Copies of this chain bind each other. A is one copy, B any other.
Amino acid sequence: MYKLLKTDGKAKRGEFVTRHGIVQTPVFMNVATCGAIKGGISALDLKKINTQIILGNTYHLHLREKDKLIFELGGLNKFMNWDGVTLTDSGGFQVFSLSKTRKIKEEGVYFNSIIDGKKIFMGPEESMIIQSNLDSTIAMAFDECTPFPCEKSYMEKSVARTVRWLMRSKNKMDELNRERNKKQLLFGINQGGVFEDIRIKNAKEISEMDLDGYAIGGETYENLYEIVDAVTDYLPKDKPTYLMGVGKTRDILECVARGIDFFDCVLPARNGRHARVYTNFGELNLNNAKYFNQDFAIDKNCECETCRNFSRAYIHHLFKAKEILAMRLCVLHNLYFFNNFMREIRDAIEKGNFFEYKKNKLNDLERKN
């Protein structure tokens, strides 16, 4: 299903064939937390800017048993009128980051709903059922997201349990696929925090399980590049790799260079909602007073709907007037920018000049405005 088309150093240019379409990698996934990109962006908007794949949050879509409704209505894609590829996370990250009271046991995690405090249990089987209900193209295995910092002894125990959860995730997903006559894909997740030896041992272990793809999760800025560099060496070359939650432009470039196919992050949308827009000459904050009378586009060379139609002065004004159109215009621009950025990366790998491109691009992206 994954075809490695070209490499440039460790950078991979791949093609991932799924039942919802082909994903050209490297690719960036925008986060549709509750079935929409925050900032007033619909699936129609995403199609217009050639978005290939989006990410839905299992935890948020499980609250109020929404996943059961979505199952009845034919899955998340149909629910939000999206006909591209969808990846759902396992819900684990939100369970660990949003719930203050939680108990981790061998069977899974007990925690309280952020909505009504109701007790919820989620283990690998529950996560697979929810993701099967959502009918995403790609499901993620249920894992523990360890805190940072974390004792090495705890990390070893946690990773061992996450491997057992991965086995259970795989078994449950196989069962659900048979029962429901579906072909939902499953990615495993490499954990181990900052400990390279745990990460590598884990990568070797999960690589043998012949999953549809492999993610790197729970990474920190402590040693992000080193960990990615080390782990990708032990993941199968004929499967896509996915670095979870990473979305700064520099990190994307550095981690494409280290063999990553998939990225996701809320940053392009969140930044857009706060007037921060990406350009090939650095980031701008349109709330800044200096933009109040700039009667030209965010980026004159950008072909997005926002740049073709609206001036910096107008968008600055909309933010000051608290008009939500301001958010929509900036998020649209940022999503377009990221889709375009990833296309450039793919082109550069194909042409074999990714590292030159990367150097120049970093210079451009990090200019001060």
- List the interface of chain A (C-beta within 8 A of B): 33-44, 60, 64, 66, 69, 72-74, 79-81, 292-293, 295, 305, 309-311, 313-314, 317-318, 320-321, 323-325, 327-329
Give the chain B neighbours of A64 by CB distance below 8 A. Answer: 320
Rounded to whole angstroms, the CA-CA distance of A71 and B39 in the bound complex is 30
Residue of B33, B40, B314 near A327 (CB, 8 A) is B40
Known: A44-B305, A81-B309. A73 touches B293 (CB 8 A): yes
Verify B73–A325 contact, CB threshold 8 A.
Answer: no
Q: Specify which chain B residues have a CB less than 8 angstroms from the CB of A324 in the assembled complex.
A: 38-40, 324, 327-328
- With both chains docked as a complex, state the minimum distance between the C-beta of A329 and any C-beta of chain B, in angstroms: 7
Measured in the bound complex, the distance between the Cα atoms of B310 and A69 in whole Å is 15
Q: Do A314 and B81 have beta carbons less than 8 Å apart?
A: yes
- Beyond A321-B60, A324-B327, whether A69 also contacts B38 by CB under 8 A is no
A305 to B42, CA, bound (A): 11
New A-B pairs, 14, CB < 8 Å, besides A36-B318, A41-B325: A34-B317, A34-B318, A34-B323, A35-B314, A36-B325, A38-B323, A40-B325, A40-B327, A44-B305, A73-B295, A73-B311, A74-B295, A79-B317, A80-B310
For residue A66, which residue of chain B has the nearest CB? B317
Check A309 against B40 for contact (C-beta < 8 Å). Answer: no
Copies in the complex: 2
Q: What chain B residues lie within 8 Å of A38 (beta carbons)?
A: 323-324
Please determine whether A42 and B309 come into contact, CB atoms closer than 8 angstroms: yes
Residues of B within 8 A of A327 (CB): 40, 324
Contact between chains at A36 and B69 (CB < 8 Å): no
A31 shortest CB reach to chain B, Å? 12
Task: Determine whether the beta carbon of A323 is less than 8 Å from that of B69.
Answer: no
Q: Which of B36, B81, B293, B320 is the one whose CB lies under 8 Å from A72?
A: B293
Complex: A66 Cα to B35 Cα, angstroms: 37
**Which residues from B are CB-within-8-Å of A328?**
40, 42, 324, 328
